[in-house]
Structure formats: C-alpha cells, structure tokens
Amino acid sequence: MKIVIDARFTRTDHHDGISRYGASLIAATAKVADVSMLISDPRQLALLPDVPYTLINSPLSPLELFVARRVNPLGADVVVCPMQTMGSWGRKYGLVLTLHDLIYYEHPAPPGFLPAPVRVLWRLYHKAFWPQRVLLNRADTVATISRTTEALMAKYRLTQRPVRIISNAPQPAQDPRDPAAGAEHSLVYMGSFMPYKNVETMVAGMSGLPDFTLHLLSRITADRRAELEIMVPPGAKVVFHNGVTDDEYTVLLKRATALVSLSHAEGYGLPLVEAMALGTPVIASDIPIFREVGGDAVAYVDPASPAEFAAAVQRLRDAAHWQQVSRRSVARAREFSWDESAQQLVDVAHDIMARRGR
C-alpha cells in the first residue's frame, strides 16, 4: 500500500499547529508504511522528515482545482491531506481530508498570514455550513483529531462520509523534568494572538501575580503587541518573545510553574499535551476539548475570569501539590503518541482500499 501525505501546509520557518501535525504524522507513518509527501516549496523540507517527495503547486494556487493530474501519476493508493481543501477532480486514488475544528464558524476572523483575497473568501466560506459539506463529501473518509470535533461534525451534519480519528500527540522522546527540582515563578503561553485565544484574560490576571512572569512565546504583529501592552497591569511582568525555537520552547516549559491556555475555542490544544509530556502543569479554560485532552491532570478555569486564573496559579505555589500535578501530567501525556496516530491512519487507508475494491 502506497500512502502520499500532503505536506504543502508545512511552514518554511517554524511550525504552527497544522504544520507540526502534518510533519509528525508523516514521520510516524513512514515507519510502518510506504510513505511519500507533496511539497510546494523546497524550504519546507527543513521542517519535514527525510522521506521521498514531489514538488507541485501551492495549495492556494488556482491550479489546485486540477491537482489530481499531478498526483495520479504517483500511483498512490491513498492520499492524506491535513486540511479539507485539496483538489479532487479526476482523482484515481483514495482520499482522506482532515477537519481539525469548527472554530472559525463562531470566530470568523481569518489568520493574518493568508493573502487578502483568501481572507475574504475565508469569511464568506464560514458564513454557512454548505461549503464545508461540499468539500468534505469529496473524500472517501474524513479525518479529525478529537472526539469533540467529531461530535460537532455530527451535530451539523457536515459530511456523509465515514469520520475517523487520527489524533494529535506530543513530540516523541521528550524527557520530563524532575518534579523534585521545583519551578521558577514563570508562566508560559504558546499560541496565536487571535481574539478567540483570549490572551487578554491572562494578561489581566497577572495583576494578582506580581512575582510571576508571563512569557508570550509566539510571533506577534506590532499592532497586536501594542494593544496587549496597554493592558498589562501596573507592576505585572509580561515578556513578548515574538517567536522561539523548539529548543527555547522546551527550556522555558521545563522551568515554568505552568503552561496557560484560556482559549474560548480550540481544535485540540497541542501545547497542553506538549507541556504535560514534560511534567509542566497546565491551567486551561473549561471547554470540552481541553477536558478531552487534559483529563484530570489540568486545572480548569472560567476563561472570562482573571481572578480564577490567578487563583489556579496560586494553588501551584504549594510544592507538594505542584509535584503531584507534574507527575499526573506526564502520565496523562503518555496516553497520546504519534505511533498510535500513524496506526490510525494506516487502518483508515486499509478501510478505504477495501471499499474501493483495491
């Protein structure tokens, strides 16, 4: 069985969530199946595993409508795309399209890195569910990364195709920190600064944590940074890193008292699992997807309450409690693995081949 995985959503400088998901899935699946990948920019190879690849058009190009003409000659049994937008006209292979979440139906502001015409189409697309149905029903199977999104897809009847879980996971071979070593009075946030991420609440909550430093790690525009800097309470310590390497991210996590994510909506919440895998406690908003991912290892708070966020941090001052949560976090993270995700993908591919009579 030959599987081709679409890696054209890989970033060229640093991973975002979709980019890391695709790269990690390729690396794990290549250990158990014949895998190659599609790229649209040779610079993407720096963030991808060493597997065979084919250079084709960008997924944002008008040529995407006819991408099957480029993919058919590769002889793939199944093609897997980590998004739902891959062209399918004239395809001769099984197709898996992925829907990570339904965030942008409730929070329609598009990511800022998209070209202006794409941002306009993005908003129009999320005005109704029927365009999503048209896209997803072109697949043989629709993948998603969580039970939470699976349930929402069923609620809104987004596809007539089988829906299967191919889950997210932390990076392998992560050595957790020593709980007995304790932690610095620092907090880490990894994620974008889009409005639904609700960074404002954690910034406001720092008014009650004058001896803690909040590290905001991701890249941020000058305008958005200025908006947040105005909100920093007097005496509070908030550091804007404007991007960090994977190694820097790991170092900061291993020192921190907790990772914080107070989003109003998420598709998965990969930073939660990344932090837990290192033994760093997590404080997160009380939303269904975070409950699914964090289980009993996470402290859940009202995302509208800076006081609840600050109180959750204060509880972690107790060394014995912090160590207990650290150990519980590691145990929870071990329930997720890319090897398991790769097997889920292979099982999906076998099922598609059986249904297609191949």
User: pLDDT value at position 158?
Assistant: 94
User: pLDDT value at position 104?
Assistant: 74
- Integer angstrom CA distances of residue 139 from 39, 66, 323: 20, 15, 46
pLDDT band, residue 171 (cuts 50/70/90): confident
CA distance 118 to 61: 10
User: pLDDT value at position 312?
Assistant: 98
- Return the CATH number of 2-169+337-353, one of 3.40.50.2000, 3.30.559.10, 3.40.350.10, 3.40.50.720: 3.40.50.2000
| Average pLDDT over every residue of 228-247 | 95
User: Do 2-169+337-353 and 179-333 agree at the fold level?
Assistant: yes
- Put the strands of the sheet holding 163-165 in their side by side order: 53-55, 34-39, 2-6, 78-81, 94-98, 141-144, 163-165
- Phi, psi values for residue 258, rounded to 5°: -160, 155
User: pLDDT value at position 15?
Assistant: 84
pLDDT band, residue 225 (cuts 50/70/90): very high
pLDDT band, residue 320 (cuts 50/70/90): very high
Per residue in 257-283, pLDDT tens? Answer: 999 999 999 988 889 999 999 999 999
Q: Which residue carries 């991701």 as its tokens?
A: 218
User: pLDDT value at position 113?
Assistant: 58
Residues 237 and 187: beta-carbon distance below 8 Å: no
Residue type at position 201: T
Chain-centre distance for alpha carbon 125:
21
Q: Which residue carries 């941020």 as its tokens?
A: 220
CATH class in words for 179-333 = alpha beta
Residue type at position 271: P
CA distance 308 to 206: 11
User: pLDDT value at position 295?
Assistant: 96
| Average pLDDT over every residue of 216-223 | 94
pTM: 0.86
User: pLDDT value at position 21?
Assistant: 93
Which residues, 6+ apart, have CB-to-CB distance to 258 below 8 Å? 187, 188, 275, 280, 281, 282, 283, 299, 312, 313, 316
Domain boundaries defined on the chain: 2-169+337-353, 179-333
Per residue in 61-117, pLDDT tens? Answer: 999 999 999 999 999 999 999 999 999 999 999 999 999 988 877 766 666 656 677
